[in-house]
Amino acid sequence: MGKPTTETFDLKTYLAEGKAKVEAALDRALPVVYPERIYEAMRYSLLAGGKRLRPILCLSSCQAVGGSEAIALPTACAVEMIHTMSLIHDDLPAMDDDDYRRGKLTNHKVYGDDVAILAGDGLLAYAFEFIAVETKDVPADRLIRVVARLGRAVGAAGLVGGQVVDLESEGKPDIPLETLHFIHNHKTAALLEASVVCGAILAGADEDAIARLSRYAGNIGLAFQIIDDILDITSSSEVLGKTAGKDLKAQKATYPSLWGLEESKRQARQLTDEAVAQLAPFGDRAVPLAAIAEFIVSRDR
**What is the contact surface with ligand FPP in residues (CB under 6 A)?**
86-87, 89-90, 95-96, 124, 154, 159-160, 163, 187-188, 242
Q: CB 40 → ligand FPP: shortest distance, Å?
A: 21
Let me know: does 4 contact 78? Beta carbons within 8 Å: no
C-alpha atoms less than 13 angstroms from C-alpha of 80 in its C-beta half-sphere: 34
Nearer to ligand FPP, 38 or 95 (CB): 95
247 binds, among ligand FPP, Mg ion, none (CB under 5 to 8 A by kind): none
Q: CB 101 → ligand FPP: shortest distance, Å?
A: 7
The beta strand positions in the chain, using DSSP E, are 100-101, 104-105
209 binds, among Mg ion, ligand FPP, none (CB under 5 to 8 A by kind): none
Nearer to ligand FPP, 154 or 268 (CB): 154
159 binds, among ligand FPP, Mg ion, none (CB under 5 to 8 A by kind): ligand FPP
163 binds, among ligand FPP, Mg ion, none (CB under 5 to 8 A by kind): ligand FPP
End-to-end CA gap in the chain: 33
Nearer to ligand FPP, 12 or 172 (CB): 172
Nearer to ligand FPP, 257 or 278 (CB): 257
Nearer to ligand FPP, 89 or 212 (CB): 89
Task: Name the pairing type of β-strands 100-101 and 104-105.
Answer: antiparallel
The site for Mg ion (CB under 5 A) is made up of 90, 96
Q: CB 48 → ligand FPP: shortest distance, Å?
A: 13
Rounded Cα gap, residues 132 and 140, in angstroms: 9
219 binds, among ligand FPP, Mg ion, none (CB under 5 to 8 A by kind): none
Q: Residues 241, 85, 15, 285: what is their CA dihedral angle, to the nearest 10 degrees?
A: 150
Q: Say which amino acid occupies 135.
A: T
DSSP string, 75-114: HHHHHHHHHHHHHHHHHSTTTT--SEETTEE-HHHHH-HH
From the number of C-beta atoms within 10 Å of its C-beta (0-12, 13-18, 19+), residue 273 rates as middle
Rounded Cα gap, residues 72 and 66, in angstroms: 12
Nearer to Mg ion, 23 or 96 (CB): 96
Q: CB 225 → ligand FPP: shortest distance, Å?
A: 8
DSSP 189: I
Q: CB 90 → Mg ion: shortest distance, Å?
A: 4
Nearer to ligand FPP, 248 or 277 (CB): 248
From the number of C-beta atoms within 10 Å of its C-beta (0-12, 13-18, 19+), residue 145 rates as middle
Q: CB 228 → ligand FPP: shortest distance, Å?
A: 7
Run of H or E including 15? helix 11-29
86 binds, among Mg ion, ligand FPP, none (CB under 5 to 8 A by kind): ligand FPP
Q: CB 140 → ligand FPP: shortest distance, Å?
A: 25
